[in-house]
Amino acid sequence: MKKLTTALLTALLLLNLAACGEKEPDDTPSGYDNSLISELYSEEGEYTDAENNTLAYSYHVPRIVSETAVAAALNDEIADQFGALVQEQKNMMASRVSLTCISVTWTSYWNDSLLCLVVRAEMDGDTSMTETYSYDFFGGKRLMSEDLLARCELSTQDFITAARRTAANYFDEMYRDALSGSMGGADFIASYAERRAWTLSDENINAEMRLYLDSGALHMIVPIGSFAGAESYDADLALDLSARETVEKTAQDSFVKAALSGGDLTVSFEKTADSAWYAENFRFDYETVYPVEGLYSDYTDVFVGSVGQGYFPYIFLLTSEGAVEYVNLLEGLTAGFLCDGGPLGGVKDIVSFESGEVEEDYGTYQTVFAVDASGEKHDLSGAVSDADYTIPSEFLGEWTATVTHDTAEQGSYDSDYILTLTDGGGLTVQDINSEVGIYFEYTGQLNYLGTNGEGMVFGYHLNENAGTVRYGAFTLLRGSDGLHVKSVAGENFFDAPSGRYTVFARG
């Protein structure tokens, strides 16, 4: 009996010590609420500057009520970013100058003892700044993005796959009407593809994103590329972890067969009398099943048809939203990289496809028609052409990079590369080694293939002075430090380390 009493007293003592150390609130869901959040700044009102511009302002900067060193450090971080911003605005009011921030707000999301704070500052010029902070009162621990992924039992790769799909569907839905109306024609389509690729890039979507939990559901703050004003804006998106549509569809035209299964697309080829020339010139074999990258939508149908004079097969995909996506099959095979080109412009509310011919003054060409809900047929040849040769205006011009090469025979030496992109897909690559007087120049053509995690994917054909033709694919992505170029198929033209890109600056 004495031993049992001693054990009970020891257990009670340990519980009391734990409670004193952290001063934990009641360990029940009802014990964790906004009473555990105070405010460093809590001010609202109207302000008139020296030019008689009057506006309303609202500043609320949160502080976590907890005595741990972790909470103190987190509060300091919030104060350094948002508190300093508010103090700056107060100083501006004292000087009667125009404010650069009109509001700072916070929202709390309680997940039992885990508090997720989303703090947002609305700046002038329709821009904003958003940060997320997660603190678990039970144990006094701060949770970072990787901790939230672990709490949701998500691997990094599974998260990135789901995040990219969520962002792609949000982007396409946001700009669907503008794309289907083809406002600005080919120029808008090029800008659409560039902003979409940037939104879905690894630089924008990764495991270090701003995340929070709302009743166990994972949310992410994602910069979404835009076409006016700021180049992007923050969107708060719930991560879509639902299973992709498991539609099983196949389509075949001549020797080309496409198979859609569970949201994945593959292509294979049959050996026929007509296929031998294509196999030789577009570099495919009959034993290989080729996967297609860059698919993010839910698809309901797949179609193979020829577009142009002669036989030039394309693959078309119908999304659950009635949009049309496509695969430039022959250019992708030549480059060694098949990729979904994303939504085509000029069409919406499509329900089916059919092949046909169009007669014009200069002759007859084959095409694929997208049939909408009212039965109207839309010739996809123009939309495909606009997409195939799209080069965003931001990419055009001359770009330069100096690359250090390490070799066992020559040691290290530098090369200067000049990359020139012209409207319509013209491409020139110059490789200059001034130390030994070596100069190479390649000229050719780019064709847009689609989007993957590295950026916009372009297949290239480059002619060397000696007459050799080189094929491959690289990605282009507009970064804050210049144009990022990464080889994804064929020769590594710019000798970037494996998995890395080369940064080009304006020439």
Full strand arrangement of the beta sheet holding 114-123: 37-48, 54-64, 101-111, 114-123, 128-136, 141-143
Distance separating alpha carbons of residues 300 and 235, to the nearest angstrom: 27
* Residues 316, 237, 78: CA angle, nearest 5 degrees: 145
Full strand arrangement of the beta sheet holding 299-306: 299-306, 313-319, 324-327
Q: What is the pLDDT of residue 16?
A: 36
pTM above 0.85, yes or no: yes
Distance separating alpha carbons of residues 142 and 71, to the nearest angstrom: 8
Helix (H, G, I), strand (E, B) or coil at 325: strand
Q: What is the pLDDT of residue 409?
A: 67
Please, are residues 299 and 246 in contact by the beta-carbon 8 Å criterion? no
Domains for the chain: give ranges and CATH numbers. 20-143 (3.30.565.40), 150-238 (no CATH), 248-388 (no CATH), 393-506 (2.40.128)
Distance separating alpha carbons of residues 313 and 332, to the nearest angstrom: 11
Distance separating alpha carbons of residues 101 and 43, to the nearest angstrom: 13
Look up residue 304 and give its two tokens: 């193979």
Q: What is the pLDDT of residue 330?
A: 96
Q: What pLDDT, in 10s, does the model give residues 172-203?
A: 999 998 898 865 578 888 999 999 999 999 99
Please, are residues 398 and 507 in contact by the beta-carbon 8 Å criterion? yes
Burial 449-477 (b: 16+ CB within 10 A, else e): bbbbbbbbbbbbbbeeeeeeeebbbbbbb
Q: What is the number of other CB atoms lying within 10 angstroms of the CB of residue 228?
A: 6
CA-nearest of 26, 46, 137 to 99 is: 46
> What are the residue ranges in the chain where pLDDT is below 50?
1-29
Q: What is the pLDDT of residue 247?
A: 84
Helix (H, G, I), strand (E, B) or coil at 367: strand
